[in-house]
Structure 1
Amino acid sequence: MKSENTHTETIKDLAEPKKTTTKKNKERQFKGMSLSERKEARREKLIEAGIETYGTHGFFSVTVKDVCNEAKLTERYFYESFKKSEELFQTIFIQLIESMQQNVMQSVMKASPDPKEMIHSGLTALFTMLKNDPRMARIIYIDAMLVQELHNRATIHETMGRFDRMIHAFVMLMLPHIDRSEKEISLVATGLNGYVTQIAIRWVMSGFKQSLEEILNACETVFVALVENFSKK
């Protein structure tokens, strides 16, 4: 059985933004920016344009030209950073997932150590993000499920695995003295992940027809039942 500190560290790792290192090379400056800085700035513009176009119109209705028009860049700059549309979409998907995970786990940590408050805060953070940014919701819970490239590269599988581990660590943080095997908790975490994912997909595809409160109640009921069941000796 892993220690409480191990799972706390897992959650902290998920809650903290990924650190990136940049090489400091002496490059020719143009308008105060080096070549690599200008290239990175164009890449970020394309990512922002991709979120806007894919999130608004859907991946399968958007062309490379559409993304470039939104970014106000020529197509040659698109291929400077990405080989094809699917690569840009995958980059956006992973970026949005990481942002979501960090937001959820930060909310969970702030509500610790009360289990019910942790459950409420984490789920509220997740579904509020989706409601406040329908573009993110569409990319993650509609188009990503349909883009074959993400399945071929196992991106979807890896992402689901990360959420499984996050929920696993979440359960261990709520119930540090739980008397269950790691395998059992892992299976339960996978089930909870699938449950929340299916509710999120249904909610997003319906255009958020049900209230946030109804969605939260449906999810919290299952998580709270888990806590109460696992708390029994």
Structure 2
Amino acid sequence: MTPESAEKAEKAKKSNKERQFKGMSLTERKELRREKLIEAGIEAYGTHGFFSVTVKDICNEAKLTERYFYESFKKSEELFQTIFLQLIESLQQNVMQAVMKASPDPRIMIHEGLTALFSMLQNDPRMARIIYIDAMLVQELHNHATIHETMGRFDRMIHAFVMLMLPHLDRTEKEISLVATGLNGYVTQIAIRWVTGGFKHSMDDILTACETVFLSLVENFSKKV
């Protein structure tokens, strides 16, 4: 082996050691730091609100320096968007799973779907604040298209929910879409009031208020026109 090749081999060996730390590669460590920042963001935004939290606050919560923040996110809004999408995905999955398990009885489907939604919000007030308070403010103040489009996924989920409850519904797609949007708006406003009010209303009161509207749909919207 020539001196040059020996030197290259030694550098490669050192480089490999640098890439590994506690059995983790550079990519794995970066992903771990990113997850720590997301968890820190959920705690900070969900406790104090997006507009009261700085990048430094997030880093202090995550016990990381600011350079590691910018390794994964360009700015605070990008972290918030990532968190919002993650929480929305989790919320929607739980609601749809609850609905599918209760199929095909419409009344049970309605009850279980709404219970899954409001239970998740009550069990994790941080999620509730991020989705139903801060996300709404960020969308309004910054005209955030991603948040607006993502909230629209609830329209489509309710649309699918209506079709699942009423598979033989004799209505146009346009009618069902408008009703789904209305139902989403109704539930969203109930959720916002519940969250901003500190969950003072009982779960039973919240469920009754929402179930009444959904049950009216089952009773009246399925009638032929």
Using the size of structure 2 for normalisation, the TM-score is 0.89
Shift of 1:162: 0.7
Q: Deviations over 1:149-196 (max 9, x none)?
A: 885341222112211110000000000000000000000000000000
1:168 & 1:143 partners in 2: Cα distance? 25
C-alpha distance after superposition, 1:113-132 (max 9, x if no partner): 00000000000000000011
Q: State the AA in 2 paired with 1:113.
A: P
The secondary structure found in structure 2 opposite 1:147 is helix
Decide whether aligned partners of structure 1 residues 53 and 185 sit closer, same or farther in structure 2, where only a CA change above 3 A counts: same
Whole-Å Cα distance in 1 between the matches of residues 146 and 88 of structure 2?
11
Q: Amino acid of the residue matched to residue 95 of structure 2?
A: V
Counterpart for residue 74 of structure 1: 65
Residue identity over aligned pairs, in percent, reads: 88
Q: Is 1:90 aligned to 2:81, yes or no?
A: yes
Please give the alpha-carbon distance, in whole angstroms, between the structure 2 residues aligned to 1:66 and 1:92.
16
Distance in 1 separating the partners of 2:128 and 2:20? 39
In the alignment, residue 158 of structure 1 is paired with which amino acid? E
Unaligned ranges ≥5, structure 2: 1-15
Shift of 1:232: 2.2
The alpha-carbon deviation at position 148 of structure 1 amounts to 4.5
Q: Give the equivalent residue in structure 2 for 1:31.
A: 22
Higher percent of residues as helix:
2
Task: State the one-letter code of the partner of 2:117.
Answer: L
Of the three residues 43, 50, 53, the one matched with 1:52 is 43
Correspondences of 1:178-197 after superposition (within 5 Å)? 178-197=169-188
1:161 paired residue number: 152
The answer to whether the aligner puts 1:175 opposite 2:166 as a matched pair is yes
Quote the offset at 1:230 in angstroms: 2.3
Give the structure-1-normalised TM-score: 0.86
Residue 100 (structure 1) aligned to one of 69, 75, 91: 91
Moved more, 139-148 or 176-185: 139-148
Equivalent of residue 43 in structure 1, options 31, 34, 47: 34
Q: Distance in 1 between matches of 2:54 and 2:215?
A: 44
How many residues are aligned here? 208
Instruction: Assess if the C-alpha contact under 8 Å between 2:159 and 2:177 holds in 1.
Output: yes
Q: Please state how far the C-alpha of 1:104 moved relative to its aligned partner.
A: 0.3
Match of 1:145 among 136, 139, 142: 136
Higher relative contact order (CA 8 A, sep 6+): 1
Give the superposed CA RMSD: 1.6
